[in-house]
Amino acid sequence: MNLSQETLALFKKLRKDTTTAGITTGTGLNFYYLEPKAKNIYPVFYPLLASTPRVNPMFNGTRVGGTAVNWKAIVAIDPGGYPGVSEGNRNSFMSVTERNYASTYKFLGKETQVSFQSQQTGLGFDDNVALAQLGLLNALLNDEERMLLYGNSGPASVGGNGYALGTTPTPVAALVTGTGMTTAKTVSAFCVALTPWGVQLAGTTNVKLPFVRKNADSSTDIINGGTGVISAASNVVTTTGATLQVKFTVAAVVGAVGYAWFVNNTDASAPSKANAYFAAITSVPSYVSAADPVTANQKANAVDSSSGLDLTTDNSYNLLDFDGIMTWIFGTSGASQAAYLSDLGGKGLTSNGDGSILEFEAVADYLWTNFKVTPDKIYTGGNLIQAVSKAILTSSSGPGAQRIVFESNAAGQITGGTKIAQYRWKYSNTAAPKVLDVMTHPWLSQGVILFDITTNPYPAAGNTIPAVRRIVSLEDHFSIKWPYRKLQHELGVYCFETLEFYLPFAGAILTGVNNSVN
């Protein structure tokens, strides 16, 4: 008989003698009531995944495979053309702009193991194999939602539809009145731009360096940490008197939703990465250092022991990703059909005083003026729903144009608190009023607002797109119980898929948004 360590520990407790004066609860003669079934207390959240159509690749009614899904699009007809014709004459031939797209299939999966011993010792309490399989599926759904939201396979140069962050711009340091840092210290900083995956994978004392992941089958993969190339050192400032804080500012990077800061208070000239330590990750392109660096934190020149890689290479994308919604939108930057991308640089939302938000109206104007499209939902990251609510209900100078009436019940109780659920959009493809749901997405980074489109805005153009976006799945979610190699069940849950996004220019992203109202 092979007993688990937990079971042995229980036996040791049973062998322990207890002597008490009479019988008390300390004697140990108590019934132990354990509720059956382990309680799953963790978030499983995938609204985008649940609302995105899933299809298998088909050709002439037959299911097919392949390495990628490809499509062609006519993105403009006779731009700048004029319809008038002179008597007896014809017009010139109109121009047509066609563009080719491709999205490569990627393979997602989660693995776990359950020992034979734990399977048997759990009898009567829970089915530990089934519990593990459910956990695998839930974990995959969470990560599949993140991949759908911000997976990034890299720019076109590596075969992706995404982007690379490149080298982070050089930050600028300035003294700030306040306490916290040691006086007469020469202070500088390095900055690293982070993708959404970079923010997700980072810790409280470090960013994630590229690392070698050892897989369940003993194979290995190098996983990048979602980091751009570390910047050059900022200028050096010296703390003194009442100015014992330093504010670092960097130019915003398209595709970055976070910035990691490494502070050096040792070098007066030619600041080195060896003396710069991780200080914070901000959702805006600035950081105020109000404490001396913690030398136990990650150094700016840290090297991952498994991969031998550091922050001097661009680690902002993974070839194992498929490109998510935000990545497709970021990837339009600089293109002829560019989505609306704006970084607020740490500013809050601006109330117009009439229930509308200046930054939201700018998105509306741009998308309608350039593409005649309107989004369908607004997702906020972190706690930005607070700023959205306040910007609608107030103005920079006080209460806005709204009146809020609080009603009390028979006991005189008043319920406080407000949450904006919808935002009225001033443009509509049907000429009818359109209202957009506003909601918080837990996997969306702080400081980010995503304007998502799900309804085909061009049905009159032949209605040739099946959806604004859809997941094309070679193989939908499935599980495998692998052959035994030892006394344990090895389990995996997988899916093989990619994202088609027909209208990436029709979305919008705000980054660097502070949770405040201007």
Looking at per-residue pLDDT, the higher value among 255 and 22 belongs to 255
Of 312, 300, 345, 289, nearest to 190 by C-alpha is 300
Phi and psi at residue 59, to the nearest 5°: -140, 120
Structure tokens, 111:
């693995």
Cα separation, 444 vs 452, whole angstroms: 13
Confidence of residue 406 (pLDDT cuts 50, 70, 90): low
- Using only C-alpha atoms, the chain has a radius of gyration, in whole angstroms, of 28
Strand partners, 91: none
Q: Could you give the C-alpha distances from 255 to 17, 19, 69, 316, 345, in angstroms and in order?
A: 64, 67, 24, 9, 14
Domain spans of the chain? 42-74+97-162+469-502, 172-289, 339-404+417-468+509-518
Is the pLDDT score of 400 beyond 60?
A: no
Q: What is the architecture of the domain spanning 42-74+97-162+469-502?
A: 2-Layer Sandwich (3.30)
Helix, strand, coil % over all residues of the chain, rounded to 5: 20, 30, 50
Q: What is the pLDDT of residues 326-384, one digit of tens each?
A: 999 999 999 889 999 999 999 999 999 888 999 999 999 999 999 999 999 999 999 99
Cα separation, 481 vs 112, whole angstroms: 10
Mean pLDDT score across all residues of the chain: 91
pTM: 0.90
Confidence of residue 394 (pLDDT cuts 50, 70, 90): confident
Cα separation, 108 vs 110, whole angstroms: 7
3-class DSSP state for residue 92? coil
Return the pLDDT at 1: 42
Taking the chain, what is the end-to-end CA distance rounded to the nearest angstrom?
Answer: 69
Q: Could you give the C-alpha distances from 383 to 15, 257, 417, 516, in angstroms and in order?
A: 52, 15, 15, 10
Structure tokens, 86:
């002179």
Return the pLDDT at 82: 87
Confidence of residue 11 (pLDDT cuts 50, 70, 90): very low
